[in-house]
Chain A
Protein backbone atom coordinates (compact mmCIF):
# COMPACT_ATOMS: atom_id res chain seq x y z
CA UNK A 1 0.00 0.00 0.00
CA UNK A 2 2.74 2.42 0.90
CA UNK A 3 4.99 1.12 -1.85
CA UNK A 4 2.65 2.34 -4.56
CA UNK A 5 2.87 5.85 -3.18
CA UNK A 6 6.61 6.00 -3.47
CA UNK A 7 8.02 6.80 -6.94
CA UNK A 8 10.30 4.13 -8.33
CA UNK A 9 13.30 6.48 -8.59
CA UNK A 10 13.09 7.42 -4.94
CA UNK A 11 13.62 3.88 -3.69
CA UNK A 12 16.00 3.85 -0.68
CA UNK A 13 19.62 3.39 -1.68
CA UNK A 14 19.89 0.27 0.51
CA UNK A 15 17.61 -1.64 -1.84
CA UNK A 16 19.58 -0.47 -4.81
CA UNK A 17 22.97 -1.51 -3.39
CA UNK A 18 22.63 -5.18 -4.20
CA UNK A 19 20.65 -4.68 -7.42
CA UNK A 20 23.43 -5.53 -9.85
CA UNK A 21 24.39 -8.62 -7.83
CA UNK A 22 20.97 -10.04 -8.62
CA UNK A 23 21.75 -10.20 -12.34
CA UNK A 24 23.52 -13.31 -13.74
CA UNK A 25 25.71 -11.08 -15.93
CA UNK A 26 27.60 -9.67 -12.99
CA UNK A 27 28.30 -13.11 -11.57
CA UNK A 28 29.77 -14.17 -14.86
CA UNK A 29 31.96 -11.07 -14.76
CA UNK A 30 32.99 -11.89 -11.18
CA UNK A 31 33.77 -15.47 -12.16
CA UNK A 32 35.86 -14.39 -15.13
CA UNK A 33 37.68 -11.84 -13.01
CA UNK A 34 38.29 -14.49 -10.36
CA UNK A 35 39.85 -16.80 -12.93
CA UNK A 36 42.03 -13.97 -14.20
CA UNK A 37 43.22 -13.25 -10.69
CA UNK A 38 43.95 -16.94 -10.08
CA UNK A 39 45.80 -17.07 -13.39
CA UNK A 40 47.93 -14.07 -12.46
CA UNK A 41 48.69 -15.39 -8.98
CA UNK A 42 49.47 -18.94 -10.05
CA UNK A 43 51.61 -18.09 -13.07
CA UNK A 44 53.57 -15.29 -11.43
CA UNK A 45 53.71 -17.33 -8.23
CA UNK A 46 55.39 -20.22 -10.01
CA UNK A 47 57.89 -17.96 -11.74
CA UNK A 48 58.57 -16.06 -8.54
CA UNK A 49 59.23 -19.22 -6.54
CA UNK A 50 61.54 -20.73 -9.15
CA UNK A 51 63.51 -17.57 -9.93
CA UNK A 52 63.45 -16.39 -6.31
CA UNK A 53 64.77 -19.71 -5.06
CA UNK A 54 67.66 -19.62 -7.50
CA UNK A 55 68.56 -16.01 -6.65
CA UNK A 56 68.05 -16.61 -2.92
CA UNK A 57 70.32 -19.63 -2.96
CA UNK A 58 72.96 -17.71 -4.92
CA UNK A 59 72.76 -14.80 -2.47
CA UNK A 60 73.21 -17.17 0.46
CA UNK A 61 75.98 -19.16 -1.18
CA UNK A 62 77.80 -15.98 -2.23
CA UNK A 63 77.69 -14.58 1.28
CA UNK A 64 78.71 -17.88 2.91
CA UNK A 65 81.60 -18.60 0.58
CA UNK A 66 83.18 -21.95 -0.17
CA UNK A 67 80.20 -23.23 -2.15
CA UNK A 68 80.59 -21.41 -5.44
CA UNK A 69 83.87 -20.62 -7.19
CA UNK A 70 85.58 -17.76 -5.36
CA UNK A 71 85.39 -15.24 -8.20
CA UNK A 72 81.63 -15.73 -8.37
CA UNK A 73 81.09 -14.87 -4.71
CA UNK A 74 82.16 -11.27 -5.20
CA UNK A 75 80.15 -10.82 -8.37
CA UNK A 76 77.03 -12.21 -6.71
CA UNK A 77 77.40 -9.99 -3.69
CA UNK A 78 77.66 -6.89 -5.85
CA UNK A 79 75.32 -7.66 -8.74
CA UNK A 80 72.54 -9.64 -7.10
CA UNK A 81 72.60 -8.30 -3.61
CA UNK A 82 73.00 -4.69 -4.54
CA UNK A 83 71.61 -3.95 -7.95
CA UNK A 84 68.72 -6.35 -8.33
CA UNK A 85 67.44 -6.72 -4.83
CA UNK A 86 67.97 -3.29 -3.35
CA UNK A 87 67.04 -1.23 -6.37
CA UNK A 88 63.91 -3.14 -7.30
CA UNK A 89 62.80 -3.23 -3.71
CA UNK A 90 63.08 0.51 -3.34
CA UNK A 91 60.78 1.22 -6.33
CA UNK A 92 57.05 1.30 -5.39
CA UNK A 93 55.20 -1.48 -7.19
CA UNK A 94 52.69 0.89 -8.87
CA UNK A 95 55.57 2.77 -10.49
CA UNK A 96 57.38 -0.44 -11.43
CA UNK A 97 54.21 -1.54 -13.24
CA UNK A 98 54.25 1.56 -15.45
CA UNK A 99 57.99 1.47 -15.99
CA UNK A 100 57.88 -2.15 -17.11
CA UNK A 101 55.24 -1.63 -19.83
CA UNK A 102 57.76 -1.42 -22.73
CA UNK A 103 59.65 -4.45 -21.45
CA UNK A 104 56.44 -6.48 -21.06
CA UNK A 105 55.36 -5.53 -24.58
CA UNK A 106 58.74 -6.67 -25.89
CA UNK A 107 58.64 -9.93 -23.94
CA UNK A 108 55.04 -11.16 -24.43
CA UNK A 109 53.88 -8.90 -27.27
CA UNK A 110 51.29 -7.00 -25.26
CA UNK A 111 50.96 -5.08 -22.03
CA UNK A 112 47.25 -5.86 -21.59
CA UNK A 113 45.74 -8.93 -19.93
CA UNK A 114 46.56 -11.24 -17.04
CA UNK A 115 49.57 -12.89 -18.70
CA UNK A 116 51.20 -9.53 -19.40
CA UNK A 117 50.55 -8.58 -15.79
CA UNK A 118 52.47 -11.67 -14.70
CA UNK A 119 55.70 -10.17 -16.04
CA UNK A 120 55.62 -7.19 -13.74
CA UNK A 121 54.13 -9.21 -10.89
CA UNK A 122 57.05 -11.65 -11.09
CA UNK A 123 59.67 -8.94 -11.36
CA UNK A 124 58.06 -7.08 -8.46
CA UNK A 125 57.94 -10.04 -6.06
CA UNK A 126 61.12 -11.98 -6.95
CA UNK A 127 63.46 -9.70 -4.94
CA UNK A 128 61.17 -9.95 -1.92
CA UNK A 129 60.99 -13.73 -2.10
CA UNK A 130 64.71 -14.07 -2.83
CA UNK A 131 65.45 -12.22 0.41
CA UNK A 132 63.10 -14.54 2.29
CA UNK A 133 64.92 -17.55 0.80
CA UNK A 134 68.29 -16.13 1.76
CA UNK A 135 67.15 -15.47 5.33
CA UNK A 136 65.63 -18.95 5.59
CA UNK A 137 68.91 -20.53 4.47
CA UNK A 138 70.99 -18.31 6.72
CA UNK A 139 68.96 -19.51 9.69
CA UNK A 140 70.00 -23.11 9.10
CA UNK A 141 72.39 -24.02 11.94
CA UNK A 142 76.01 -23.85 10.78
CA UNK A 143 76.74 -27.06 12.66
CA UNK A 144 74.42 -28.95 10.33
CA UNK A 145 76.25 -27.58 7.32
CA UNK A 146 79.59 -28.57 8.89
CA UNK A 147 78.17 -32.05 9.48
CA UNK A 148 77.20 -32.22 5.82
CA UNK A 149 80.62 -31.03 4.67
CA UNK A 150 82.65 -33.42 6.83
CA UNK A 151 80.67 -36.39 5.58
CA UNK A 152 81.92 -35.50 2.11
CA UNK A 153 78.98 -33.60 0.59
CA UNK A 154 79.50 -31.78 -2.68
CA UNK A 155 78.32 -28.17 -2.94
CA UNK A 156 75.22 -29.34 -4.78
CA UNK A 157 74.40 -31.90 -2.07
CA UNK A 158 75.13 -29.37 0.66
CA UNK A 159 72.65 -26.91 -0.84
CA UNK A 160 69.80 -29.19 -1.85
CA UNK A 161 70.06 -32.22 0.43
CA UNK A 162 70.82 -30.25 3.57
CA UNK A 163 70.39 -26.46 3.47
CA UNK A 164 67.17 -26.26 1.45
CA UNK A 165 65.68 -29.29 3.15
CA UNK A 166 66.44 -27.99 6.62
CA UNK A 167 65.04 -24.58 5.66
CA UNK A 168 61.82 -26.06 4.26
CA UNK A 169 59.52 -24.82 7.06
CA UNK A 170 60.79 -21.26 6.64
CA UNK A 171 60.64 -21.54 2.85
CA UNK A 172 57.09 -22.82 3.01
CA UNK A 173 55.90 -19.92 5.14
CA UNK A 174 57.89 -17.58 2.88
CA UNK A 175 56.03 -18.89 -0.16
CA UNK A 176 52.71 -18.40 1.65
CA UNK A 177 53.57 -14.80 2.48
CA UNK A 178 54.66 -14.22 -1.12
CA UNK A 179 51.45 -15.64 -2.60
CA UNK A 180 49.34 -13.51 -0.28
CA UNK A 181 51.36 -10.52 -1.37
CA UNK A 182 50.85 -11.50 -5.01
CA UNK A 183 47.09 -11.52 -4.51
CA UNK A 184 47.31 -7.93 -3.32
CA UNK A 185 49.72 -6.95 -6.09
CA UNK A 186 47.50 -8.65 -8.70
CA UNK A 187 44.70 -6.24 -7.81
CA UNK A 188 47.06 -3.35 -8.45
CA UNK A 189 48.28 -4.89 -11.67
CA UNK A 190 44.64 -5.31 -12.67
CA UNK A 191 44.25 -1.55 -12.79
CA UNK A 192 47.12 -1.31 -15.28
CA UNK A 193 45.34 -3.51 -17.79
CA UNK A 194 45.72 -6.86 -16.13
CA UNK A 195 42.04 -7.38 -15.40
CA UNK A 196 40.98 -9.63 -12.55
CA UNK A 197 39.12 -8.95 -9.33
CA UNK A 198 41.03 -5.79 -8.57
CA UNK A 199 39.98 -4.21 -11.82
CA UNK A 200 36.36 -5.33 -11.30
CA UNK A 201 36.24 -3.84 -7.82
CA UNK A 202 37.79 -0.62 -9.12
CA UNK A 203 35.52 -0.19 -12.13
CA UNK A 204 32.31 -1.00 -10.27
CA UNK A 205 33.12 0.32 -6.86
CA UNK A 206 35.01 3.47 -7.81
CA UNK A 207 33.92 4.38 -11.33
CA UNK A 208 30.23 3.38 -10.99
CA UNK A 209 29.94 3.54 -7.23
CA UNK A 210 28.33 0.10 -7.19
CA UNK A 211 29.07 -0.73 -3.57
CA UNK A 212 27.47 -4.18 -3.75
CA UNK A 213 29.83 -5.53 -6.39
CA UNK A 214 32.80 -3.98 -4.66
CA UNK A 215 31.88 -5.63 -1.35
CA UNK A 216 31.32 -8.98 -3.06
CA UNK A 217 34.79 -8.78 -4.62
CA UNK A 218 36.22 -7.78 -1.27
CA UNK A 219 34.71 -10.82 0.42
CA UNK A 220 36.06 -13.09 -2.32
CA UNK A 221 39.56 -11.64 -1.93
CA UNK A 222 39.50 -11.97 1.84
CA UNK A 223 38.38 -15.59 1.50
CA UNK A 224 41.07 -16.25 -1.10
CA UNK A 225 43.79 -14.91 1.20
CA UNK A 226 42.41 -16.89 4.13
CA UNK A 227 42.41 -20.11 2.13
CA UNK A 228 45.96 -19.55 0.88
CA UNK A 229 47.14 -18.75 4.40
CA UNK A 230 45.38 -21.82 5.81
CA UNK A 231 46.85 -24.19 3.24
CA UNK A 232 50.28 -22.58 3.61
CA UNK A 233 50.21 -22.98 7.38
CA UNK A 234 49.21 -26.61 7.08
CA UNK A 235 52.06 -27.36 4.66
CA UNK A 236 54.54 -25.51 6.89
CA UNK A 237 53.44 -27.61 9.85
CA UNK A 238 53.70 -30.76 7.78
CA UNK A 239 57.34 -30.17 6.78
CA UNK A 240 58.41 -28.88 10.19
CA UNK A 241 59.89 -31.68 12.28
CA UNK A 242 61.68 -29.51 14.82
Chain B
Protein backbone atom coordinates (compact mmCIF):
# COMPACT_ATOMS: atom_id res chain seq x y z
CA UNK B 1 0.00 0.00 0.00
CA UNK B 2 2.74 2.44 0.95
CA UNK B 3 6.07 2.23 -0.78
CA UNK B 4 8.72 4.79 -0.05
CA UNK B 5 11.81 4.56 -2.21
CA UNK B 6 15.08 6.39 -1.79
CA UNK B 7 13.43 9.31 -0.08
CA UNK B 8 15.77 12.13 0.87
CA UNK B 9 15.08 15.55 2.28
CA UNK B 10 17.60 18.32 2.70
CA UNK B 11 17.09 21.61 4.44
CA UNK B 12 19.24 24.66 4.24
CA UNK B 13 19.73 25.76 7.81
CA UNK B 14 22.09 28.56 8.85
CA UNK B 15 23.73 28.47 5.44
CA UNK B 16 24.55 24.78 5.41
CA UNK B 17 22.69 21.74 4.17
CA UNK B 18 21.11 19.48 6.74
CA UNK B 19 20.12 16.04 5.52
CA UNK B 20 17.08 15.19 7.60
CA UNK B 21 16.22 12.07 5.62
CA UNK B 22 18.86 10.07 3.79
CA UNK B 23 17.77 7.47 1.26
CA UNK B 24 14.82 6.11 3.20
CA UNK B 25 13.12 3.10 1.67
CA UNK B 26 10.16 1.50 3.31
CA UNK B 27 7.21 -0.59 2.35
CA UNK B 28 4.05 -1.32 4.27
CA UNK B 29 1.55 -3.95 3.16
CA UNK B 30 -2.22 -3.49 2.98
CA UNK B 31 -4.02 -3.37 6.33
CA UNK B 32 -0.76 -3.58 8.24
CA UNK B 33 0.10 -1.43 11.23
CA UNK B 34 3.67 -0.29 10.87
CA UNK B 35 5.54 1.57 13.56
CA UNK B 36 8.38 3.99 12.92
CA UNK B 37 10.47 4.56 16.00
CA UNK B 38 13.44 6.74 16.63
CA UNK B 39 14.73 9.32 19.03
CA UNK B 40 13.93 12.99 18.62
CA UNK B 41 15.99 14.41 15.81
CA UNK B 42 16.05 11.08 13.98
CA UNK B 43 13.91 12.51 11.19
CA UNK B 44 10.50 11.14 12.22
CA UNK B 45 8.72 14.47 11.86
CA UNK B 46 10.33 15.17 8.51
CA UNK B 47 9.26 11.73 7.31
CA UNK B 48 5.67 12.45 8.35
CA UNK B 49 5.73 15.81 6.62
CA UNK B 50 7.06 14.20 3.44
CA UNK B 51 4.49 11.39 3.54
CA UNK B 52 1.63 13.82 4.07
CA UNK B 53 3.10 16.05 1.38
CA UNK B 54 3.42 19.01 3.71
CA UNK B 55 7.04 19.03 2.55
CA UNK B 56 8.27 18.18 -0.90
CA UNK B 57 11.01 15.54 -0.76
CA UNK B 58 14.38 16.52 -2.26
CA UNK B 59 14.44 13.20 -4.08
CA UNK B 60 12.77 9.82 -4.07
CA UNK B 61 9.20 8.68 -4.43
CA UNK B 62 6.25 8.09 -2.15
CA UNK B 63 3.77 5.63 -3.62
CA UNK B 64 0.38 5.22 -2.08
CA UNK B 65 -1.79 2.55 -3.67
CA UNK B 66 0.62 2.35 -6.59
CA UNK B 67 0.65 6.05 -7.55
CA UNK B 68 3.57 8.35 -6.87
CA UNK B 69 2.29 11.33 -4.91
CA UNK B 70 5.56 13.10 -4.11
CA UNK B 71 5.73 14.96 -7.40
CA UNK B 72 2.15 16.21 -7.55
CA UNK B 73 1.01 19.79 -7.23
CA UNK B 74 -2.15 21.87 -7.31
CA UNK B 75 -5.50 20.10 -7.50
CA UNK B 76 -3.92 16.65 -7.91
CA UNK B 77 -1.87 17.21 -4.78
CA UNK B 78 -4.96 18.20 -2.80
CA UNK B 79 -6.77 15.12 -4.01
CA UNK B 80 -3.85 12.86 -3.19
CA UNK B 81 -3.80 14.30 0.35
CA UNK B 82 -7.32 13.02 0.84
CA UNK B 83 -6.06 9.44 0.50
CA UNK B 84 -4.02 9.97 3.68
CA UNK B 85 -5.62 10.64 7.04
CA UNK B 86 -3.30 12.28 9.55
CA UNK B 87 -3.65 12.03 13.32
CA UNK B 88 -1.57 14.58 15.21
CA UNK B 89 0.08 14.44 18.60
CA UNK B 90 -2.04 17.33 19.85
CA UNK B 91 -5.22 16.48 17.90
CA UNK B 92 -5.11 19.96 16.28
CA UNK B 93 -8.86 20.32 16.24
CA UNK B 94 -10.49 23.53 15.07
CA UNK B 95 -11.56 25.34 18.24
CA UNK B 96 -14.24 27.32 16.47
CA UNK B 97 -16.06 24.18 15.32
CA UNK B 98 -18.02 21.60 17.25
CA UNK B 99 -16.84 17.98 17.35
CA UNK B 100 -19.28 17.15 14.56
CA UNK B 101 -18.16 20.06 12.38
CA UNK B 102 -14.51 19.12 12.96
CA UNK B 103 -15.16 15.63 11.66
CA UNK B 104 -17.27 16.99 8.80
CA UNK B 105 -14.57 19.46 7.71
CA UNK B 106 -12.74 17.20 5.20
CA UNK B 107 -16.11 16.45 3.60
CA UNK B 108 -17.14 20.09 3.63
CA UNK B 109 -14.09 21.15 1.62
CA UNK B 110 -14.60 18.19 -0.71
CA UNK B 111 -18.03 19.60 -1.54
CA UNK B 112 -20.22 16.97 0.15
CA UNK B 113 -23.73 18.24 0.89
CA UNK B 114 -24.44 19.44 4.42
CA UNK B 115 -26.99 16.80 5.44
CA UNK B 116 -24.88 14.00 4.00
CA UNK B 117 -21.61 15.09 5.59
CA UNK B 118 -23.27 15.60 8.98
CA UNK B 119 -24.74 12.12 8.85
CA UNK B 120 -21.35 10.67 7.95
CA UNK B 121 -19.61 12.67 10.67
CA UNK B 122 -22.13 11.47 13.26
CA UNK B 123 -21.45 7.89 12.14
CA UNK B 124 -17.71 8.39 12.55
CA UNK B 125 -18.13 9.94 15.99
CA UNK B 126 -20.07 6.85 16.96
CA UNK B 127 -17.32 4.64 15.52
CA UNK B 128 -14.73 6.31 17.77
CA UNK B 129 -17.02 6.01 20.78
CA UNK B 130 -18.08 9.62 21.09
CA UNK B 131 -21.79 9.41 20.44
CA UNK B 132 -23.46 12.30 22.23
CA UNK B 133 -20.61 14.81 21.96
CA UNK B 134 -21.62 16.13 18.53
CA UNK B 135 -22.31 19.68 19.75
CA UNK B 136 -19.37 19.92 22.14
CA UNK B 137 -16.51 22.27 21.29
CA UNK B 138 -12.95 20.92 21.60
CA UNK B 139 -12.38 23.00 24.73
CA UNK B 140 -15.08 20.94 26.45
CA UNK B 141 -13.44 17.59 25.64
CA UNK B 142 -10.70 15.70 27.47
CA UNK B 143 -7.35 14.96 25.82
CA UNK B 144 -8.35 11.42 24.94
CA UNK B 145 -11.70 12.57 23.55
CA UNK B 146 -9.98 15.21 21.44
CA UNK B 147 -7.71 12.56 19.99
CA UNK B 148 -10.77 10.43 19.16
CA UNK B 149 -12.30 13.36 17.31
CA UNK B 150 -8.94 13.79 15.56
CA UNK B 151 -9.04 10.16 14.46
CA UNK B 152 -12.64 10.50 13.27
CA UNK B 153 -11.68 13.61 11.29
CA UNK B 154 -8.73 11.77 9.74
CA UNK B 155 -11.10 9.00 8.64
CA UNK B 156 -13.78 11.31 7.24
CA UNK B 157 -12.57 11.44 3.65
CA UNK B 158 -12.25 7.64 3.43
CA UNK B 159 -8.45 7.55 3.28
CA UNK B 160 -6.51 4.45 2.32
CA UNK B 161 -3.78 5.21 4.79
CA UNK B 162 -3.95 6.43 8.37
CA UNK B 163 -0.81 8.18 9.46
CA UNK B 164 -0.49 8.71 13.22
CA UNK B 165 2.19 11.15 14.36
CA UNK B 166 2.93 10.46 18.05
CA UNK B 167 -0.79 9.85 18.65
CA UNK B 168 -0.46 9.02 22.34
CA UNK B 169 2.57 11.02 23.44
CA UNK B 170 0.41 13.73 25.02
CA UNK B 171 -2.00 11.35 26.75
CA UNK B 172 -2.17 9.67 30.14
CA UNK B 173 -1.70 5.85 30.31
CA UNK B 174 -5.43 5.07 30.33
CA UNK B 175 -6.23 7.25 27.34
CA UNK B 176 -3.14 5.87 25.60
CA UNK B 177 -4.43 2.31 25.92
CA UNK B 178 -7.87 3.37 24.69
CA UNK B 179 -6.52 5.23 21.69
CA UNK B 180 -4.25 2.33 20.69
CA UNK B 181 -7.24 -0.01 20.98
CA UNK B 182 -9.25 2.34 18.82
CA UNK B 183 -6.57 2.51 16.13
CA UNK B 184 -6.38 -1.29 15.93
CA UNK B 185 -10.16 -1.50 15.92
CA UNK B 186 -10.38 0.99 13.08
CA UNK B 187 -7.81 -0.97 11.08
CA UNK B 188 -9.71 -4.23 11.63
CA UNK B 189 -13.04 -2.70 10.61
CA UNK B 190 -11.98 -0.51 7.72
CA UNK B 191 -8.96 -2.43 6.48
CA UNK B 192 -6.77 0.67 6.52
CA UNK B 193 -3.02 0.65 6.30
CA UNK B 194 -1.70 2.39 9.40
CA UNK B 195 1.63 4.06 9.95
CA UNK B 196 2.41 5.03 13.53
CA UNK B 197 5.28 7.34 14.30
CA UNK B 198 6.30 7.13 17.92
CA UNK B 199 9.13 7.20 20.40
CA UNK B 200 7.28 4.94 22.82
CA UNK B 201 8.23 1.29 22.59
CA UNK B 202 5.01 0.35 24.37
CA UNK B 203 3.09 1.56 21.33
CA UNK B 204 5.07 -0.80 19.10
CA UNK B 205 4.56 -3.67 21.53
CA UNK B 206 0.82 -3.29 21.82
CA UNK B 207 -0.12 -2.07 18.36
CA UNK B 208 2.32 -2.74 15.55
CA UNK B 209 2.65 -5.68 13.15
CA UNK B 210 5.91 -4.40 11.75
CA UNK B 211 8.39 -1.75 12.72
CA UNK B 212 11.27 0.35 11.43
CA UNK B 213 13.97 2.07 13.39
CA UNK B 214 14.93 5.48 12.12
CA UNK B 215 18.33 6.79 13.13
CA UNK B 216 19.83 10.08 11.95
CA UNK B 217 17.70 10.08 8.84
CA UNK B 218 18.14 6.48 7.76
CA UNK B 219 16.26 3.29 8.45
CA UNK B 220 18.65 0.94 10.24
CA UNK B 221 16.29 -1.93 11.09
CA UNK B 222 12.98 -2.87 9.55
CA UNK B 223 10.62 -5.84 9.35
CA UNK B 224 7.84 -7.63 11.21
CA UNK B 225 8.02 -7.26 14.97
CA UNK B 226 8.91 -10.97 15.37
CA UNK B 227 11.73 -10.79 12.87
CA UNK B 228 13.12 -7.56 14.20
CA UNK B 229 13.13 -8.88 17.74
CA UNK B 230 14.72 -12.17 16.68
CA UNK B 231 17.45 -10.25 14.83
CA UNK B 232 18.85 -9.30 18.23
CA UNK B 233 19.62 -5.73 17.20
CA UNK B 234 18.93 -2.34 18.72
CA UNK B 235 15.16 -2.75 18.50
CA UNK B 236 15.38 -6.01 20.44
CA UNK B 237 17.17 -4.25 23.26
CA UNK B 238 14.62 -1.42 23.20
CA UNK B 239 11.56 -3.65 22.95
CA UNK B 240 12.74 -6.18 25.54
CA UNK B 241 14.76 -3.96 27.85
CA UNK B 242 16.70 -5.11 30.86
CA UNK B 243 16.97 -3.01 34.01
CA UNK B 244 19.70 -0.41 33.92
CA UNK B 245 22.92 -1.13 35.81
CA UNK B 246 22.40 -4.90 35.48
CA UNK B 247 26.12 -5.26 34.74
CA UNK B 248 27.36 -3.68 37.96
CA UNK B 249 27.25 -6.78 40.22
CA UNK B 250 30.00 -8.42 38.14
CA UNK B 251 33.13 -9.18 40.10
CA UNK B 252 36.52 -9.06 38.44
CA UNK B 253 37.18 -12.01 36.17
CA UNK B 254 33.50 -12.74 35.69
CA UNK B 255 31.94 -12.28 32.30
CA UNK B 256 28.36 -11.70 31.29
CA UNK B 257 26.18 -13.16 28.54
CA UNK B 258 22.90 -12.01 27.07
CA UNK B 259 20.65 -14.89 26.04
CA UNK B 260 17.79 -14.08 23.71
CA UNK B 261 15.11 -16.66 22.96
CA UNK B 262 12.09 -16.21 20.73
CA UNK B 263 9.02 -18.45 20.43
CA UNK B 264 9.32 -22.05 21.65
CA UNK B 265 12.98 -21.61 22.55
CA UNK B 266 11.81 -19.52 25.54
CA UNK B 267 10.92 -22.72 27.42
CA UNK B 268 14.39 -24.24 27.21
CA UNK B 269 16.54 -24.33 30.38
CA UNK B 270 19.36 -22.06 29.28
CA UNK B 271 20.56 -21.20 32.78
CA UNK B 272 20.70 -24.87 33.83
CA UNK B 273 22.52 -25.70 30.61
CA UNK B 274 25.08 -22.97 31.20
CA UNK B 275 25.53 -24.09 34.82
CA UNK B 276 26.13 -27.65 33.68
CA UNK B 277 28.86 -26.64 31.21
CA UNK B 278 30.55 -24.26 33.63
CA UNK B 279 30.26 -26.72 36.49
CA UNK B 280 28.91 -24.12 38.93
CA UNK B 281 25.65 -22.28 39.50
CA UNK B 282 25.24 -19.45 37.03
CA UNK B 283 23.42 -16.47 38.57
CA UNK B 284 20.90 -14.42 36.57
CA UNK B 285 21.74 -10.71 36.67
CA UNK B 286 18.63 -9.54 34.92
CA UNK B 287 15.81 -10.97 32.90
CA UNK B 288 12.73 -10.06 31.00
CA UNK B 289 10.01 -12.13 29.36
CA UNK B 290 7.61 -10.32 27.10
CA UNK B 291 4.66 -11.25 25.01
CA UNK B 292 5.27 -9.70 21.59
CA UNK B 293 3.52 -10.09 18.25
CA UNK B 294 1.58 -13.09 19.52
CA UNK B 295 4.69 -14.95 20.72
CA UNK B 296 6.97 -14.85 23.69
CA UNK B 297 10.43 -13.39 23.92
CA UNK B 298 12.87 -13.81 26.75
CA UNK B 299 16.09 -12.01 27.45
CA UNK B 300 18.33 -13.19 30.24
CA UNK B 301 21.62 -11.81 31.40
CA UNK B 302 23.76 -14.28 33.28
CA UNK B 303 27.14 -13.98 34.94
CA UNK B 304 29.76 -16.64 34.20
CA UNK B 305 32.41 -17.22 36.86
CA UNK B 306 36.05 -16.36 36.23
CA UNK B 307 37.81 -18.95 34.14
CA UNK B 308 34.63 -20.32 32.54
CA UNK B 309 34.85 -21.57 28.98
CA UNK B 310 32.75 -18.77 27.48
CA UNK B 311 32.89 -19.93 23.83
CA UNK B 312 31.77 -23.45 24.82
CA UNK B 313 28.80 -22.03 26.78
CA UNK B 314 27.86 -19.80 23.87
CA UNK B 315 28.02 -22.65 21.40
CA UNK B 316 25.84 -24.85 23.59
CA UNK B 317 23.20 -22.18 24.08
CA UNK B 318 23.13 -21.34 20.37
CA UNK B 319 22.64 -25.04 19.68
CA UNK B 320 19.49 -24.81 21.85
CA UNK B 321 18.10 -22.04 19.69
CA UNK B 322 19.21 -18.96 21.61
CA UNK B 323 21.00 -15.87 20.34
CA UNK B 324 23.90 -15.09 22.61
CA UNK B 325 25.81 -11.85 22.80
CA UNK B 326 28.32 -10.24 25.05
CA UNK B 327 26.56 -7.23 26.62
CA UNK B 328 29.86 -5.36 26.83
CA UNK B 329 30.07 -5.38 23.07
CA UNK B 330 26.51 -4.18 22.47
CA UNK B 331 25.02 -2.15 25.30
CA UNK B 332 28.05 -0.72 26.95
CA UNK B 333 29.73 0.20 23.72
CA UNK B 334 26.56 1.86 22.38
Partner-B contacts on A (CB < 8 A): 141, 143-144, 146-154, 157, 161-162, 165-166, 168, 239, 241-242
Contact = CB atoms under 8 A, between A and B. Distances in A.
Nearest to A147: B92
Contact of A151 (B81, B93, B96): B81
B110 interface: yes
Which of A146, A147, A165, A168 counts the most B-chain CB atoms under 10 A from its CB?
A147
A143 B45 CA distance: 13
A144 B94 contact: yes
Given A147-B86, A241-B137, A242-B139, A152 B78 contact: yes
Contacts of A166: 94-96
24 contacts: A143-B88, A143-B90, A143-B92, A147-B93, A147-B94, A147-B153, A148-B94, A149-B54, A150-B84, A150-B86, A151-B109, A151-B156, A152-B106, A152-B157, A153-B109, A161-B108, A161-B109, A162-B94, A165-B94, A166-B96, A168-B96, A241-B96, A241-B137, A242-B95
Interface in B269-285: none
A234 B156 CA distance: 34
A239 B86 CA distance: 27
Interface residues of B, number: 28
Contacts of A161: 105, 108-109
Contacts of B157: 151-152
A152 B110 contact: yes
A141 B92 contact: yes
Q: Which of B78, B138, B153 has the most CB of A within 10 A?
A: B78
A165 B93 CA distance: 13
Contact of B78 (A141, A144, A154): A154
Contacts of A152: 78-79, 81-82, 106, 109-110, 157
A149 B81 contact: yes
* Cβ-closest 8 pairs across A and B: A143-B92, A151-B106, A241-B137, A147-B92, A152-B78, A152-B82, A152-B81, A150-B86
B198 interface: no
The prevalent SS among residues of B at the interface is loop
B52 interface: yes
Residue of B54, B82, B94 contacting most chain A CB atoms (<10 Å): B94
Contacts of B79: 152
Given A166-B95, A241-B96, A147 B137 contact: no
B194 to A, nearest CB: 16
Given A146-B54, A153-B109, A165 B78 contact: no
Interface in B54-95: 54, 78-79, 81-82, 84, 86, 88, 90, 92-95
A144 B86 CA distance: 12
B78 A147 contact: no
A240 to B, nearest CB: 9
Contacts of B86: 146-147, 150
Interface in B105-133: 105-106, 108-110
A152 B54 CA distance: 11
A203 to B, nearest CB: 47
Contacts of A144: 92-95
A187 to B, nearest CB: 36
A181 B54 CA distance: 40
B54 A150 contact: yes
A242 B96 CA distance: 7
